[in-house]
A and B are shown apart, each in its own frame.
Chain A
């Protein structure tokens, strides 16, 4: 995982180079033109700057900072070379069945075929190999790397058992046959489900804003929702600016098949990791200088992995910025209903409601995986104010539609406003209890957490425990936590955090006893770290 911070001085010197190179060139040309008379002089006078310019571009190209993550261009070049080779071979050897080389898959497949080296994914794999279980495997790895909420299933189970007449085939009174859900449905979701989701979103966001079902496109999870939006808003080679630290899955959802780049905009703990417009502007300009077109900003609010909220002021500033640069804003609000603090969540939709702003550039992503803890059911939402985006996104949902029986089941659940209200309040309380317990436990070990009021995790500063204040040191600590303490947490470098030592710890899959065990395990590792440092 590349760490951009040491490279910033380099890129700054790069931006200073063009003027330096230009001045040198001028100093060379003028005397030359003076020396060589006549037509030859003109030709030389134009050739030499061209040659210098060419060499300069070559220099810049070689020294351009490599993109974070995998470089997609080299595998495709190598694979296209190999396929050229195969074609010429097959022309001469039409009947040959000898193996000329391994059969070529696409460059996308080649880049993924090798094991993923991000600690985020490595950790998840390790846990599935040795998962903790209080009774069966007490020495297994405890999962703190997956933001799942297991705290309120009892409420949903209770609701289901009281409402079992709403079986997979429909409500009492309505179409009770499979003929209702088996056939083709609108690919962007049933209208009744959209209405139900609009009401649900409004309810979880404290009724501060209402959502219009006709501006919604439903997808099989928030993962395809993000990808579909990306396909609609950007062409391959374009970029989105993303404040760091950010959810590691963005790299897959926004970049992988779309060919779009994500440009990190670094945020600092001194600002509690809230984005500054200055940093955004700088990143925008630097990206433009590299010849890359920025199509939008991607934010998560409430933030993952930090767990804080973007204040109203920041949202207004982002809007102004987007309008000035004529770019989009994609706001991932999937944790909007997982608030446990006392702050007020402000959705992008609420800001737009209040102002008469150009709404065509704002798009919201939502889903039921976090707030209602139903990731298996695959329910995602694209909410946009842009008609053209809605039209295009609708067509793209052919690849990622929500299963009809799941929609039927959830329509009743999500429309039951009384149940949802009870769920939201209970969920809030339980997350807060878990959060307080966990954060207090960390505090006892001298580990502070960033201020947060939402999400299913906390953002812990373990820089005091790392031996080298660098990405290497952070990964060493992560390794110790995974292999010695046997807990899987997500290191900040996987989230592109510029400050080493931060870790995201999800606590909503734990019980209160588990928390005690986790803290104890961290304590043991913390002690060995303090001894060795």
Chain B
């Protein structure tokens, strides 16, 4: 009763569900939160494979920080800068910081394109960057097309406070989840008929959850599509430097150099959370070719400025060309190695993944383990994986995937030993499934038993502790 009375005093935004944290997707987090795996203290715990975090290159960054005490304002060498940095709250950001980020972004694209530091606008992580871009481009009620499967939090980031709606454009495995112009046209036409004002197209390239990069031809057709319709293109390139094998990454910034395009329609969202593994630093970047968006976004950055201490540190780090070149190379190699280790391990037990060359995860194909090719079967299987296999993986439905049976599994947020433990658990599970399928009538009972046990453990999100990975996850 008291809660209702409280809630009456609150706004619609505060009481609606568009934050997305009530979706069953987050129940996996809860399971992890209650019983987190630890190699020594809790070997039977749930292994977190639902969080796309890059922990493979901490040592490189640590080494650099230790070797460059001047970059930190809390060391004897750096403290003389403290005054100027602590007082700096200009929303333009330090020039050195913007130059360093522009430099890094160019290097991540193989030096094939350069970025203008004056177009770099800060925001509170890529989460804030996506929201800022939406505030600048669309009015409440407007819509953006988004190819699915897509990052689950796009809905919250792009639509919660902005009032913008996302219209998924379904892609499926028949053509390896490629976006086709036909699909886009169809979605656009349908929206027109429903009287929905489509303002643009937003996509992640490299893709989350697929882990693939868009080829040149597809990119060109996308750019010509948005040009025709005079709608915006927002390219979330947060995994630009997390590409570890061929084909190489092509950014939309390269495409617009080689074809005719209205640049006012092109916007890039970036962050250092994935490529450098620094999500805790909260560095989000909006890079727009549209002056009005840069101007507006810059003023909005007051709501999510990057801490000047962090700007100062990163300005030093990212202008160190030797460090950056080495980092990009090492990161790529380590990701490739980890990806290979994991996918080969899966292949040994007959599990295939979508062929991918980027990102911190694989798009695992478990369709043959589904009882029926339905959403309910996928959910059932997922609960089994969480509760029996004790791995928190993310079901395809949470990425708005229209085809059941796909799961995103993250592999870069753990050490090699833990990867082996996870693979072993999967091996055991798959073998058990093969035995089970011979004893069908018994498997039915087993599955429903676990789902009942699961329902009891589902809690209201309100009871979650602030330390829950749920609230700090960016997936």
Chain A residues in the interface with B (C-beta under 8 A)? 76, 79-80, 83, 86-87, 90-91, 94-95, 97, 99-100, 102-110, 112-113, 128, 148, 150, 153, 156-157, 160-161, 163-164, 166-169, 177-179, 181-188, 191, 214, 220-221, 223-224, 227, 231-236, 238, 252, 257, 295, 326, 328, 360-361, 369, 373-378, 386-389, 391-392, 394-396, 398-406, 409
Contact assessment for A153 and B83 in the assembled complex, using a CB-CB cutoff below 8 Å: yes
Chain B interface size band reads 35 or more
Q: For the complex, is B11 an interface residue (Cβ under 8 Å from A)?
A: yes
Of B88, B265, B292, which one neighbours A113 at CB under 8 angstroms? B292
Contact assessment for B280 and A404 in the assembled complex, using a CB-CB cutoff below 8 Å: yes
Contact assessment for A394 and B277 in the assembled complex, using a CB-CB cutoff below 8 Å: no
8 nearest A-B pairs in the assembled complex, by CB-CB distance? A376-B308, A404-B280, A392-B14, A403-B307, A109-B296, A375-B89, A232-B14, A388-B6
Q: For the complex, is B186 an interface residue (Cβ under 8 Å from A)?
A: no
A164 to B282, CA, bound (A): 24
With A109-B296, A110-B292, A328-B9 already in contact, the answer to whether A90 and B228 are too (CB < 8 A) is yes
Determine the residue in chain A with the shortest Cβ distance to B128.
A399
Contact assessment for A177 and B9 in the assembled complex, using a CB-CB cutoff below 8 Å: no
Contact assessment for B303 and A223 in the assembled complex, using a CB-CB cutoff below 8 Å: yes
Contact assessment for A94 and B137 in the assembled complex, using a CB-CB cutoff below 8 Å: no
Contact assessment for B290 and A220 in the assembled complex, using a CB-CB cutoff below 8 Å: no
A227 to B55, CA, bound (A): 33
Q: For the complex, is B451 an interface residue (Cβ under 8 Å from A)?
A: no
In the complex, which of the residues A187, A360, A388 has the most CB atoms of chain B within 10 Å of its own CB atom? A388
Determine the residue in chain B with the shortest Cβ distance to A161.
B79
Q: A104-B199, A186-B471, A388-B15 are in contact. List 12 more A-B contacts (CB 8 A).
A: A106-B139, A108-B136, A164-B74, A181-B281, A184-B473, A186-B468, A187-B471, A375-B89, A400-B304, A401-B124, A409-B74, A409-B309
Chain B residues in the interface with A (C-beta under 8 A)? 3, 5-7, 9-15, 19, 21, 51, 53, 55, 58, 61-62, 65, 69, 72-76, 79-80, 82-83, 85-90, 124-125, 127-128, 131, 135-140, 142, 156-157, 161, 192, 197, 199, 227-230, 232, 260, 262, 264-265, 277-283, 290, 292-293, 295-296, 299-300, 302-310, 313, 413, 462, 466-469, 471-474
A109 to B297, CA, bound (A): 8
Which A residues lie within 8 Å of B83 (CB)? 150, 153, 157
A252 to B265, CA, bound (A): 26
A308 to B424, CA, bound (A): 67
Contact assessment for B127 and A234 in the assembled complex, using a CB-CB cutoff below 8 Å: no
Which A residues lie within 8 Å of B6 (CB)? 360, 386-389
Contact assessment for A223 and B302 in the assembled complex, using a CB-CB cutoff below 8 Å: yes
Which B residues lie within 8 Å of A389 (CB)? 6, 10, 14
Contact assessment for A403 and B19 in the assembled complex, using a CB-CB cutoff below 8 Å: no
With A186-B467, A403-B280 already in contact, the answer to whether A232 and B11 are too (CB < 8 A) is yes
A38 to B156, CA, bound (A): 61
Of B12, B290, B296, B303, which one neighbours A227 at CB under 8 angstroms? B303
CB contacts between A and B, total, < 8 Å = 286
With A167-B72, A231-B11, A389-B10 already in contact, the answer to whether A153 and B55 are too (CB < 8 A) is no
Determine the residue in chain B with the shortest Cβ distance to A358.
B5
Of A326, A388, A403, which one neighbours B282 at CB under 8 angstroms? A403
Which B residues lie within 8 Å of A128 (CB)? 90
Contact assessment for B299 and A112 in the assembled complex, using a CB-CB cutoff below 8 Å: yes
Determine the residue in chain A with the shortest Cβ distance to B307.
A403
Which B residues lie within 8 Å of A374 (CB)? 86-87
A168 to B74, CA, bound (A): 7
Which A residues lie within 8 Å of B61 (CB)? 178, 182
A343 to B417, CA, bound (A): 62
A402 to B472, CA, bound (A): 12
Contact assessment for A79 and B139 in the assembled complex, using a CB-CB cutoff below 8 Å: yes
Contact assessment for B139 and A112 in the assembled complex, using a CB-CB cutoff below 8 Å: no
A163 to B135, CA, bound (A): 42
Which B residues lie within 8 Å of A388 (CB)? 3, 6-7, 9-10, 14-15
A83 to B141, CA, bound (A): 13
Task: Give the distance to chain A from B16, nearest Cβ to Cβ, in Å.
Answer: 10
In the complex, which of the residues B62, B72, B83, B303 has the most CB atoms of chain A within 10 Å of its own CB atom? B303
Determine the residue in chain B with the shortest Cβ distance to A372.
B86
Contact assessment for B86 and A105 in the assembled complex, using a CB-CB cutoff below 8 Å: no
Task: Give the distance to chain B from A78, nearest Cβ to Cβ, in Å.
Answer: 12
Contact assessment for B278 and A182 in the assembled complex, using a CB-CB cutoff below 8 Å: yes
Determine the residue in chain A with the shortest Cβ distance to B468.
A186
A234 to B299, CA, bound (A): 22
Which B residues lie within 8 Å of A326 (CB)? 9
Contact assessment for B86 and A376 in the assembled complex, using a CB-CB cutoff below 8 Å: yes
Contact assessment for B74 and A166 in the assembled complex, using a CB-CB cutoff below 8 Å: yes
A85 to B78, CA, bound (A): 57
Contact assessment for A402 and B135 in the assembled complex, using a CB-CB cutoff below 8 Å: no
Of A86, A148, A409, which one neighbours B87 at CB under 8 angstroms? A148
Contact assessment for B76 and A220 in the assembled complex, using a CB-CB cutoff below 8 Å: no
Contact assessment for B265 and A233 in the assembled complex, using a CB-CB cutoff below 8 Å: no
Which B residues lie within 8 Å of A87 (CB)? 192, 197
